[in-house]
Structure 1
């Protein structure tokens, strides 16, 4: 390092405990190192607390999401059952109507067949009489 470098430039790089000799540094340098160490420890503790708070918050949000999705799932299942019931009721009504229509058509077919038989019978009688 050059003789013109500042104090802060000297301390930017990590310190190696073996390279520090008390006789190399004046008392104010030791005090500055102690202050810096205290700041790093405070920062470390604050960061650890922030991590813990973030994890707690994340877990609470996750629990909330799980609960909300469980409610939504229950709602959707109830809605599905209601819609299926409604569909079955509509289908049953439509089938009943179709069955009634088939019965009416069958009755009309029978009536038409009888009428046709009578007409054919009448035509045969008319032809025989001629």
Structure 2
């Protein structure tokens, strides 16, 4: 689909420069409505995806060192930590999507697949959010 809009430096939008009609014309408004209708149809059909991040993005994962290092033995007393990581792939299956995430410290696959529902629980887009969640988890374990 040909781009119909452009974004100005102040964040506002206007008509793309390559259009044969002006942004206040009925023809342009018709093009916008047609494009919007296609996107809405795709969304209703479950064919329009809104991902929390893209492949290559940095993410921060709250997990056990056992899930990050290949050569470490499992110890039930291991404490979760925050690991800077990156999304290496996103796959889609009938049962849902999977995010394959690698730890930057080891460049190894973190021993779990993640789903979109894990964002905000164990996977975060900002280190501060991950550290706040880890602190919350530690405090809730202390109260047990």
Higher Cα Rg, which structure: 1
User: What is the TM-score normalised by the length of structure 1?
Assistant: 0.24
* Structure number with higher strand proportion: 2
Greater RCO (CA < 8 Å, at least 6 residues apart): 2
* Structure number with higher helix proportion: 1
User: What is the TM-score normalised by the length of structure 2?
Assistant: 0.22
